[in-house]
Amino acid sequence: MRVVIAPNAFKGSLSALDAANAIAEGVRAVASDADLVLVPIADGGDGTVEALVAAVGGERRTVPVRGPLGEPVDADYGLIDGGSTAVVEMAKAAGLALVPLEKRDPRITTTYGVGELLREAYDGGARHFIVGIGGSATNDGGAGMAQALGYHLLDENGHELPPGGLALKRLARVHVGGVHANWKEAEVEVACDVTNPLTGPSGASAVYGPQKGATPEMVAELDAALHHFAEVIRRDLGVDVEQLPGAGAAGGLGAGLVAFTGARLRPGAEMVMEALNLDERLEGADLVITGEGRLDSQTARFGKGPAAVARHGRNAGIPVVAIGGSIADETELRLLFDGLEATVVQPCSLDEAIAQARPLLVRAATRLMRLLSTGRGLA
């Protein structure tokens, strides 16, 4: 029996690789001779670097970059495909987790460190980039990233703008003479699972600004600054990003990546599945096991990793079962998966479930395989 084990991270408890190993242990407890193929997955968010590097035998590199408040932070990125593809999570360099609650202010936070990661990977030979842009602390439209790549964002006196989204209201022109590389040579793909435009009531500032510390007054200021930024980009670079679906992701970094690197915004999970060569790994499989910390309607509706695995499995004619730390909206999920199994089957607190995540996942996989081996079908 050939089993492909392709879980997402169980957020707060297990990485995707740890989850895959736990499921494998449970499978082997019942089917010791099973041929197991471990493919830890991600959907472009947290854990994408680790999942891709682990699944395809890549490497991780850590470099010092400028953090969201200008402080030095150590950020890692991944290299796969022999170093030709770089995997970058913007949150490693400009994530909300890097900013203490009392210091959160999207008027001044910067994506400069994201540009440093891209520059480092480009200079190392990468020409294909997979960029995950979830979890940002920023609202600068990718301005800081652009500056790190050598673009000059100048005010009316010819001075470089300081960090942060609010400074963009003073932008007079974009000067491209200092760009360190020809990004037309590169293919930049951005994992983007939201459709927010850059500005307006559903834009970056209005929707995501408050969680980054923005008051209603700040939201209005930042939205106006991004609108002006988009106008200057349209005039100086010939790229219209303001109403582009996904442009508002990560405080407008989606727009910045399109404008300054020629990036494409794509659904994150599908992009990762391609990088993992999932269809090839499914060949000859009898069963696929996926999962994540919580399985619910969002799993199906918002293109999360397990849903992408289910679609690929279905296309290949292979049954796909999912294990979740918790399961809700079963009726909807059963349209997607051939079987469901929860790790928690007895009352316990969330803290206990997180602390015991690994043994609970092992036992869930064991129960699942016992059901299959006795011919009683899938739970």
pTM: 0.87
- Evaluate whether 260 touches 140 at the Cβ level (below 8 Å): no
95 DSSP 8-state letter: B
Residue 303 has pLDDT above 80, yes or no: no
Which band of pLDDT confidence, cut at 50, 70 and 90, is reported for residue 375?
low
- Look at residue 290 and tell me whether its pLDDT is greater than 90: yes
- Better pLDDT: 292 or 372: 292
Both tokens of 209, joined, read 């600004």
Task: Name the residue among 95, 194, 177, 78 with its Cα closest to residue 135.
Answer: 95
| For residue 110, pLDDT beyond 70 | yes
The model's pLDDT over 339-356, given as tens digits with 9 standing for 90+, comes to 999 998 888 888 888 899
pLDDT per residue over 143-177, tens digit each?
A: 999 999 999 999 999 999 999 999 999 999 999 98
Does residue 281 have a pLDDT over 70? yes
Average pLDDT over residues 288-309: 90
What's the confidence (pLDDT) of residue 379? 39
| Confidence band for 194, pLDDT divided at 50, 70 and 90 | confident
Predicted confidence (pLDDT) per residue in 204-231, tens digit:
999 999 999 999 999 999 999 999 999 9
Q: How far apart are CA 264 and CA 187, in angstroms?
A: 8
The pLDDT value recorded for residue 378 is 46
DSSP 117-161: HHHHHHHTT--EEEEE--SB---STTHHHHHHTT-EEE-TTSPBP
The pLDDT value given to residue 253: 97
Q: Is the pLDDT of residue 372 over 90?
A: no
Interacting residues of 87 by C-beta distance below 8 A, sequence separation 6+ = 48, 49, 52, 53, 58, 77, 78, 79, 80, 129, 130, 132, 275
The total of other beta-carbon atoms located within 10 Å of residue 376's CB is 9
pLDDT in tens, 22-38: 999 999 999 999 999 99
Residue 83, number of CB atoms within 10 A of its CB: 15
Q: What is the pLDDT of residues 11-22, one digit of tens each?
A: 889 999 999 999
Angstrom distance (rounded) from CA 138 to CA 291: 30
Dihedrals phi, psi of 289, to nearest 5 degrees:
-120, 125
